[in-house]
Amino acid sequence: MSPFARSTPLASVSQPMPETRPKRRLHLNAMTVIGGVLILLAVLTALFGTTLAPHDAGEIVDFDVFGPMSATYPLGTDYLGRDMLSRVLLGARYTVGIAFVATALACSCGIALGLFAAVIGGLADSALARTLDALTSIPSKMLALVLVAGLGSSLPVLTLTLAFIYVPGCFRITRALAVNIAQEDFVLAARARGEGRGYIMMREIMPNMLGPLLADFGLRFVFVVLLLSSLSFLGLGVQPPEADWGSLVRENIAGLPYGAPAVIVPAIAIAILTIGVNLFIDNLPGRRRAGAGKA
């Protein structure tokens, strides 16, 4: 033993220093909070609008059409003298509900097809990509007009039409992300150890692109809201006496020269919903890291 060697206390060997890890804190951007509040307001309006509405959707409450805002009618009256506050509250369930269901269907189908194409490859991948690319080449509004005019403007037809239109876009985003991730070493290792395609898609590839897919979901939700509002504005959306926010703008367009609240308020509601979703998705903490990092 060297005379310069120091004796180490037994306690220091047997009791290693505990590791201290910094606690992660979730820092919410101000824009994220504002967007979340706007989305929550729209969701609560859609869920409880029927309870909060003071009048029925078709009830004529005043003979003064395009009435101004007042204590009795906070948002004025429409072109028939119906309470606009009730109409806006009741219309939220159609705008928010149809858009959410259609976006969820479109993203679910697009993600499933995109993962399948990226993992399978070969002829199946090429056939899916070429078919959905052909659908993408058709303008969305034109395709929606043809489908709704031919099949009718019932709520199921509207929802399925909007979902069908946005499946190709979601497929392309998912496939592009999945093809790149499928070449990573951890995916190749999963293939080498004999994991099935379902496991690779759901456990290896899917968690590594949640961030971009979440952003894509929010963006497509905005597209669906605007397309639904456009169809309703053209008379092919939700049919009277019920109405979504786009239908309310169309019904009361004659009041625009007078600055009637009946035409301005629904347009503001659509703008608030779309801006809120954009703010929330674009400023979500860790969104880009979630899409770029490994699971």
Q: Specify the CATH number for the domain of residue 281.
A: 1.10.3720.10
Which residues, in sequence order, are bridge partners of residue 83? 77
Residue 67 domain-assigned (yes or no) = yes
Residue 96 domain-assigned (yes or no) = yes
Residue 100 domain-assigned (yes or no) = yes
pLDDT of residue 291: 40
pLDDT of residue 96: 94
Compute CA distances 80 → 15, 66, 73, 248, whole Å. 82, 8, 14, 12
pLDDT of residue 48: 93
Confirm if 69 and 88 have CB atoms less than 8 A apart. Answer: no
- Nearest 5°: CA angle at 157, between 155 and 163? 105
Side-chain half-sphere exposure of 101, counting CA atoms within 13 A: 13
- Round to whole Å and give the CA distance between 190 and 196: 9
Helix, strand or coil, per DSSP, at residue 161: helix
Residue 53 domain-assigned (yes or no) = no
- Round to whole Å and give the CA distance between 103 and 269: 19
Residue by residue, pLDDT tens for the chain (295 residues) are 444 444 444 444 445 444 444 455 556 678 888 989 999 999 999 999 889 999 888 888 888 889 889 889 999 999 999 999 999 999 999 999 999 999 999 999 999 999 888 888 888 888 888 888 888 888 888 899 899 888 888 889 999 999 999 999 999 999 999 888 888 888 888 878 877 777 888 888 888 888 888 888 988 999 999 999 999 888 888 888 788 999 999 989 999 888 889 999 999 999 999 999 988 888 765 554 444 333 3
pLDDT tens digits along 165-174: 999 999 999 9
> b vs e for 191-200, b when ≥16 Cβ sit within 10 Å of the residue's Cβ?
eeeeeeeeeb
pLDDT of residue 107: 94
Residue 270 domain-assigned (yes or no) = yes
> Considering only CA atoms, which of 222, 117, 210 is closest in space to residue 162?
222
Q: What is the dihedral of CA 289, 273, 104, 220, to 10 degrees?
A: -70
pLDDT of residue 104: 95
Query: pTM of the prediction?
Result: 0.81
pLDDT of residue 99: 94
Nearest-Å Rg of the Cα atoms of the chain is 27
Residue 43 domain-assigned (yes or no) = no
- Round to whole Å and give the CA distance between 177 and 90: 39
pLDDT of residue 32: 86
- Round to whole Å and give the CA distance between 33 and 91: 25
Range of the domain at 106: 59-292
- Round to whole Å and give the CA distance between 155 and 98: 8
Residue 159 domain-assigned (yes or no) = yes
Structure tokens at 265: 């308020």
Residue 35 domain-assigned (yes or no) = no
Q: How many domains does the chain have?
A: 1
The answer to whether the peptide bond before residue 18 is cis (omega within 30 degrees of 0) is no
Alpha helices (H) along the chain: 10-14, 30-52, 84-120, 122-136, 140-151, 155-181, 185-192, 197-199, 210-233, 245-251, 261-282, 287-292
